[in-house]
Amino acid sequence: MPADEIAAKQDFSQYDAAIVMSHNLTSDRAYLRALAATDVSFVGLLGPPQRRDRLLEEIGDDAGLLADRLRSPAGKLIGGRGRSSIALEVVVERQELFCGSDYRSLSASRSACVSMSIDAGSKLTGTTDNCRFKFLPLA
């Protein structure tokens, strides 16, 4: 969906989270502006802090609407390289924030049951014992 149409055409009420990184500053600026006007509680922005700072400066007052929801750079550093590792790091951070858990080794506690699907370019969905979530692919 074109970035300049997302606010008018997308119903954000069905999403808990959105991850922004289209590799295009103009598009990402439009996505962040659109997400600022929503109740999406986890807005992740991939990329370096300098890119985040530039985008937030460019969206002006809308940046304040994202203050408590924006995670950037998104993800919990757990190691690895490439798209799959980045996706997993974002899911780990999201899981920790939404479900109030602390990241720790599964060998320390086997009480959590997690099921999720990660497929580049598609919706990322999952469930845990007490949490449900759906990610919206913007690009």
Structural domain that includes position 15: 3-137
Contact call for residues 107 and 136 (beta carbons, < 8 A): no
Q: Based on the structure, what is the number of domains in the chain?
A: 1
Q: What is the pTM of this model?
A: 0.69
Q: Which amino acid is at 108?
A: A
CA distances for 5 relative to 2, 30, 33, 34, 87, angstroms: 5, 9, 12, 9, 25
Q: What percent of the chain stands above pLDDT 70?
A: 71
Alpha carbon distance 7, 18 (integer Å) = 13
Per-residue pLDDT of 25-83, as tens digits, reads: 999 999 999 999 998 888 989 889 999 999 999 999 999 999 889 988 888 888 878 88
Per-residue pLDDT of 106-133, as tens digits, reads: 444 444 444 444 444 444 445 444 455 5
CATH number reported for the structural domain that contains residue 21 in this entry? 3.40.50.720
